[in-house]
């Protein structure tokens, strides 16, 4: 099987590094890709479930832009809706009318929520959710999960990271995932001082297996929040619309006070949303928060069309099924080489790890070999599946995976 070269990506990166700090920053930084030089850095074009890099290499994309792409790149209905909106108006003086249409649609779509507030990025709304929780309760502390990620604002980063100070984490209490007693203890140790509990629907750490909630976990957390007047916030930014069209809380059967959406909301157009219960609507109204582009109409039109299409085709159900087909196939191929490919998380956004080598080097090499043959796999982060991934894509992916397993079997022999 032909393997890819990334000459132009590297050339472009050299230019970038001269004028952009670390060339490509944030979650798109190539640093966690192992080895980084075996991955494409720059996209030239995209369509459906595929993208082509600046070297002309074609990839079946299992990262989906780290989550935003859910219906496929360049989706005609979404792009047409966005283009139509641009033609009439986009960023103007005055809120766009499509904002109301989108808000009504979302309030109907998400059973747990009665209102919606729009912003641009996930961290905009996770930040805002904590402000609302503090204002509603008059309390300071926020409980979050160790290893949880809610954006890159200083309070969300683990202490010690560059650009943060100790005081940033002063009002943050980190507890382990699935640990109800730890939450009870936090409440006991901070009487009437916990404003909010924020977590993803299930735990999605990087470089580690993803963890589903234990039976009854969310119900217990919800009950504790109700009992102690704590605002329950679900960060559905990554999971949203990949498990249930009504939000992941529907999938797991609990009712949060605030829900944060972003990523898949508009199939790649920049918009995020905070949704909440009626009880918090007036509080939200008085907590000032805004941004220069938060009233941009184009992403709102795109979001409306994305959600309509996801609802029409039952997108979450489709990608859960597609993901399962892909993962069953990959696990089977791995087994023929004596490798245990462990899958955790939902099939629509799975985390994979070859357990034979706890250092992850074997897994990293396999992911890189797959990427070098056209199936874009990362080794550190959960993958994403879209409604655009077809049976043919899966079949081709399995052939690539098989070829890559042959290579690493040759490389490692019977060491694992």
In the complex, the residues that contact other proteins under the rule CB under 8 A are 10, 13-14, 17, 21-25, 29-32, 34-37, 41, 158-162, 166, 206-207, 358-361, 364, 380
DSSP class of residue 312 equals: H
| Shortest separation between residue 34's beta carbon and other proteins, angstroms | 6
- φ, ψ of residue 192 in degrees (nearest 5): 55, 30
| Shortest separation between residue 31's beta carbon and other proteins, angstroms | 5
Closest to 297 (Cα-Cα) out of 117, 84, 109: 84
- Which residue, 298 or 365, has its beta carbon nearer to other proteins? 365
Q: String of b and e for 125-139 (b: at least 16 CB within 10 Å)?
A: bbbbbbbbbbbbbeb
- Which residue, 10 or 178, has its beta carbon nearer to other proteins? 10
Instruction: Kindly give the pairing relationship between strand 141-145 and strand 194-199.
Output: parallel
| Shortest separation between residue 11's beta carbon and other proteins, angstroms | 11
Stated as kind and residue range, the H or E segment containing 119 is strand 115-119
- 104 three-state secondary structure: helix
- Which residue, 19 or 410, has its beta carbon nearer to other proteins? 19
- Which residue, 148 or 246, has its beta carbon nearer to other proteins? 148
| Shortest separation between residue 317's beta carbon and other proteins, angstroms | 34
- Which residue, 128 or 177, has its beta carbon nearer to other proteins? 177
Residue pair 274/128 in contact (Cβ under 8 Å)? The answer is yes
Residue linked to tokens 């609507």: 281
Write down how long the chain is: 416
Residue linked to tokens 């670390």: 22
CA distance 352 to 55: 27
Residue pair 234/247 in contact (Cβ under 8 Å)? The answer is yes
| Shortest separation between residue 204's beta carbon and other proteins, angstroms | 15
| Shortest separation between residue 30's beta carbon and other proteins, angstroms | 4
| Shortest separation between residue 236's beta carbon and other proteins, angstroms | 25
- Which residue, 86 or 182, has its beta carbon nearer to other proteins? 182
CA distance 157 to 162: 9
Residue pair 66/242 in contact (Cβ under 8 Å)? The answer is no
Burial-class residue 102 by CB neighbours within 10 Å (0-12, 13-18, 19+). Answer: buried
Q: String of b and e for 323-341 (b: at least 16 CB within 10 Å)?
A: bbbbbebbeebbeebebeb
Structure tokens at 233: 């916030």
- Which residue, 172 or 394, has its beta carbon nearer to other proteins? 172
- Which residue, 33 or 224, has its beta carbon nearer to other proteins? 33
| Shortest separation between residue 35's beta carbon and other proteins, angstroms | 6
């Amino acid at each position: 099987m032909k393997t890819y070269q990334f000459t132009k990506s590297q050339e472009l990166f050299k230019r970038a590094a001269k004028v952009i700090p670390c060339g490509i920053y944030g979650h798109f930084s190539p640093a966690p890709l192992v080895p980084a030089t075996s991955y494409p850095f720059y996209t030239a074009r995209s369509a459906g479930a595929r993208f082509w890099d600046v070297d002309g290499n074609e990839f079946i994309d299992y990262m989906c832009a780290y989550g935003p792409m859910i219906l496929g790149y360049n989706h005609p209905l979404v792009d047409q809706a966005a283009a139509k909106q641009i033609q009439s108006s986009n960023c103007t003086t005055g809120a766009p009318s499509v904002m109301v249409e989108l808000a009504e649609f979302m309030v109907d779509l998400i059973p747990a929520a009665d209102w919606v507030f729009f912003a641009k990025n996930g961290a905009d709304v996770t930040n805002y959710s904590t402000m609302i929780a503090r204002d509603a309760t008059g309390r300071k502390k926020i409980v979050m999960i160790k290893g949880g990620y809610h954006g890159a604002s200083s309070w969300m980063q683990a202490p010690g990271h560059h650009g943060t100070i100790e005081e940033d984490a002063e009002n943050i209490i980190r507890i382990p995932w699935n640990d109800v007693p730890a939450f009870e203890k936090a409440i006991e140790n901070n009487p009437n001082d916990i404003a909010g509990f924020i977590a993803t629907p299930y735990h999605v750490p990087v470089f580690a297996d993803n963890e589903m909630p234990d039976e009854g976990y969310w119900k217990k957390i919800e009950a504790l929040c109700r009992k102690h007047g704590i605002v329950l916030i679900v960060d559905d930014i990554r999971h949203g619309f990949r498990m249930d069209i009504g939000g992941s809380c529907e999938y797991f059967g609990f009712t949060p006070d605030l829900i944060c959406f972003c990523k898949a909301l508009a199939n790649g157009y920049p918009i995020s949303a905070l949704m909440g219960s009626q009880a918090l609507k007036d509080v939200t109204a008085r907590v000032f928060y805004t941004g220069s582009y938060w009233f941009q109409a184009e992403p709102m039109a795109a979001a409306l069309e994305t959600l309509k299409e996801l609802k029409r085709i039952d997108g979450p159900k489709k990608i859960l099924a597609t993901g399962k087909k892909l993962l069953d196939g990959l696990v089977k191929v791995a087994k023929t080489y004596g490798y245990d490919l462990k899958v955790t998380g939902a099939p629509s956004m799975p985390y994979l790890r070859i357990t034979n080598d706890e250092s992850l080097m074997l897994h990293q090499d396999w992911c890189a070999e797959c990427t070098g043959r056209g199936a874009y796999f990362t080794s550190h982060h959960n993958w994403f599946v879209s409604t655009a991934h077809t049976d043919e894509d899966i079949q081709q992916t399995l052939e690539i995976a098989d070829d890559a397993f042959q290579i690493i079997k040759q490389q490692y022999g019977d060491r694992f």
